[in-house]
Structure formats: structure tokens, C-alpha cells
Amino acid sequence: MIRSSISIHWSTLASSETLPESRATARTLLFRVAGKVYGCDIEAVREIIPYRRATRLPGAPPFVQGLVNLRGTIVTVLDLGARLDPARPPIRDGSIILAAHGTRVVGVAVDEVMDVQGISEEHVEAHGGARDALIRGLGHLESDVVVLVDIHTLVTQVLL
């Protein structure tokens, strides 16, 4: 079981491009949402900030928390927990992962950011027939299985 208290190693994040990883290994940011561990490709991640209250965006789907101010830029924040299971209460603590999609930046609220790990391709179980296009597949770590989510799909599903 992955220790849920591991915080992210900023040095590895910063130098992710220069590490001599093999091509088939995707560096994956691991985070926890409602007790489950998820992962996303670190290439899409721009920055991680502490959770902050978002200004409600009336009329938006329930899993859109609203708008936050990121150093003068307005960023839309999505609630990954509510997105994966509408019955979940909204995330009100934890972190916001800022992911870049093209020129746009979107925030993804999660309960906790945990670690960065390389997951080689042979350890990824493609999830072709997944009900949710958001789920790319399952990543097998030494002692655990994480659900891999596709940030780009999340963004294109939500933003105009």
C-alpha cells in the first residue's frame, strides 16, 4: 500500500524532463480522491496549489467548483471526486492540480497529492471499454493499482 502521507518530491517534479527515463515509462503524478489512489501523466501538470475556495459559476455542472484567482489569471476548478461520483460531497480541502491543455489551464481539486512515480507501459492495463472516457486504464505499481485518468479528456469534456 502506498503511504498516503508521502508528499510530492519537488525536485523530481522540476527535473522530470532531464531524467534518463525510458520512453515507455510515463511519469505519473499520484493523488488521492475519496480514499482511492489515482494517477495522471505529469506532463500535463503545470503546478500544484493548496485548495482554495472557488467562486461559484452558476449554471455549471455540479462537479465544476467555480473560479479561482491564480496570480491574476482566472482558472476554472473541477472537482474530480464529484466528477467520478456525483454522490460524493464536494472537496473542500486538499490540493488543486493545475493542468495545462493547449493554452488553457484548468484546476482539478483532489483530496491529497502524494507522489510521482514512473509507470512503465507494460504495467498499464488499458481500459478500452471503460464506461467513462476519462479513465485511461489501470497502472500497476509494486504493491498497488492506481486508476489512470486522462486530464485532457477531462478538460475537453467540460470546457467550451
Partner 1 sequence: MDSAQYAELFLTESREHVSAINHSLLELERGVGGDEPVGAIFRGVHTIKGMSATMGYTAVASLSHELETLLDVVRRGGSTVDARLMDLLFRAADLLERAIESAVSGVDAVDVLPMIHQLQSEAGRDSQTFLSMAMTAELPVPGMGMGMTAEMPIPGAWTAAVPAGPGMLVRVRIVEGTPLKGVRAFLAVEAAKKLGEVGEVSPPVEALQADAFDHDFALRLTTELSRDDVIAALRRAGDVDEVSADDAAVSAPLVEAPAPTKATNGSSGNGGNGATNGGAVRQQRSVRIDLRRLDNLMNLIGELVITRGRLVQLTGPVDDPALAETVAQTSRPVWQVFDRFPRLVRDAARSVGKPVEFTIEGKEVELDRSMLDEVGDPIVHLLRNAIDHGIESPEVRREQGKPESGRLTLSASRDRSAVAIRVTDDGRGIDREKVLQRAREHGLIDASKTELTDEELFRIISQAGFSTADKVTDLSGRGVGIDAVHNRVRSLGGSVDIRTAPGKGTTVTLRLPLTLAIVRSLLARIGDETYAIPMTHVSETVELHPQIMHTLKGREVLMIREQVLPLIRLRQLLHYEGDATRGLEQVVVVEMAERRAALVVDALIGQQEVVVKQFDGVQNGLTLFGGATILGDGAPALIIDVSSLL
Interface with partner 1 (CB under 8 A), residue from 40, 96, 98, 106: 106
Cα(45)–Cα(32) distance, integer angstroms: 16
Interface with partner 1 (CB under 8 A), residue from 36, 46, 92, 104: 104
Of 66 and 137, the one with the shorter C-beta distance to partner 1 is: 66
Enumerate residues 54-83 that contact partner 1 by CB under 8 A. 54-61, 64, 66-69, 72-76
At 44, is the secondary structure helix, strand, or coil? helix
Q: At 95, list the grid cell.
A: 490540493
Does 46 bind partner 1 (CB under 8 A)? Our answer is no
Does 160 bind partner 1 (CB under 8 A)? Our answer is yes
Does 133 bind partner 1 (CB under 8 A)? Our answer is no
Min. distance of Cβ 52 from partner 1 in angstroms? Answer: 9
- For the chain, the distance separating the N- and C-terminal CA atoms, rounded to the nearest angstrom, is 38
Distant-in-sequence, close-in-space partners of 118: CB < 8 Å, separation ≥ 6? 21, 25, 26, 27, 28
